[in-house]
Amino acid sequence: MTIHRTDRLQLAYELRGETGDPVVLIHGSLADARSWGLVAPSLSASLQVLSYDRRGYGSSTGPPRDRAVRDDADDLASLLVATEFYPAHLVAHSYAGAVALRVASDRPELVRSLSLHEPPLLGLLTDDPDLGVEARAGIQQIERVRAQVRAGKREDAAREVVDLFSVRPGAWERARPEVRRAAIEYVGNWSEEYADPEAVIPDLAAVHDLWIPVLVTTGAESPEWVQRIAQRLTSALRNGTEQSIPDAGHAPHVTVPDRYVAVLLSFLVERVVPTV
């Protein structure tokens, strides 16, 4: 991987593809850039694809984040400017959806479109008459997981996070060993990220001001609260589209990569996205 260095951090990234629009893959909280390994080659056949390790993941380093979402957004903006890889389509998984929204809001000149898979923005549901109680319980669960991390119970914390996004019991046991290892390794990063309120509630005024196309995807096998977040977020956007992916859950880029690539390509390639 290539390293982008500043005076405070270094970001490791990899470029694939030689033609087509620039696309950036932004990983979630319990994995690094390697999690895109099953989709990046297919996307790079028709697009230029950049995947990178966010700060504190993989080969990327830097100081702890005071405001995780904004710090991660600033990191990505710095990388895009340094590599002149913009305006780009941002494809984000889970927590990274909040990061992508922040980049698009703060630096619109760098972004052509957003593709967000299941950003866990639980704060959008706290006033929901059907799921408000569940949303508030989810926010409390985040605090319990952070307490487990502080107590050194990293496997217990990682297990609880993975199970949170599944409607079927035993999600942790079904996960591949390398997925479980990464989750345990990075659950401390997850704790740091979800200490930031913006990880669960976006700046709705900034979201509403976005004019770029935004695709919000969910897995058909994901919990109802995930689906409702996608609906709420899409309704807040001026140019939002919601799509469910059959036979998928929280990580379609790992479990159904071909199907996820097809959804992304139909959004990224078959539409004309203005660059100004």
Q: How many domains does the chain have?
A: 2
In angstroms, what is the C-alpha Rg of the chain? Answer: 17
264 within 8 A of 43, measured Cβ to Cβ:
yes
β-sheet with 214-219: strand ranges across: 2-5, 10-16, 48-52, 22-26, 88-93, 111-117, 214-219, 240-245
- pLDDT tens digits for range 47-68: 999 999 999 999 999 999 999 9
Q: Verify that 153 and 33 share a domain, yes or no.
A: no
Judge whether 276 lies within some domain: no
Residue 111 CA neighbour count, 13 Å, CB half = 25
The pLDDT score that the predictor gives to residue 271 is: 55
The pLDDT score that the predictor gives to residue 273 is: 47
Judge whether 93 lies within some domain: yes
Distances from the Cα of 171 to the Cα of 37, 115, 154, 219, 250, angstroms: 21, 25, 17, 15, 11
Judge whether 106 lies within some domain: yes
Judge whether 250 lies within some domain: yes
* Identity of residue 69: V
Show which of 193, 213, 228 is a domain's final residue. 193
Q: Verify that 112 and 231 share a domain, yes or no.
A: yes
Judge whether 159 lies within some domain: yes
Q: Verify that 121 and 173 share a domain, yes or no.
A: no
Q: Verify that 70 and 118 share a domain, yes or no.
A: yes
Query: 122 lies in which domain range?
Result: 2-127+199-268
The pLDDT score that the predictor gives to residue 272 is: 45
Show which of 193, 211, 245 is a domain's final residue. 193
pTM: 0.94
Token couple for 118: 């299941």
CATH number, domain at 213?
A: 3.40.50.1820
Q: Verify that 93 and 156 share a domain, yes or no.
A: no
**What contacts 13, CB < 8 A, 6 or more positions away?**
1, 2, 3, 4, 33, 50, 51, 52, 53, 79, 83
Distances from the Cα of 55 to the Cα of 71, 193, 205, angstroms: 9, 11, 27
**Of residues 116, 134, 113, the one with CA closest to residue 125:** 134
Judge whether 273 lies within some domain: no
Report d(CA 255, CA 111) in Å as an integer. 27
88 within 8 A of 95, measured Cβ to Cβ:
no
Show which of 142, 161, 193 is a domain's final residue. 193
Judge whether 110 lies within some domain: yes
Judge whether 274 lies within some domain: no
* Identity of residue 221: E
The pLDDT score that the predictor gives to residue 274 is: 46
Distances from the Cα of 105 to the Cα of 92, 96, 125, 212, 274, angstroms: 15, 14, 22, 10, 17
The pLDDT score that the predictor gives to residue 270 is: 64
The rounded average pLDDT for each run of 10 residues, N- to C-terminus, in the chain (276 residues) is: 93 96 96 97 96 97 96 98 97 98 98 97 91 89 94 96 87 90 96 96 94 97 94 96 96 96 90 47
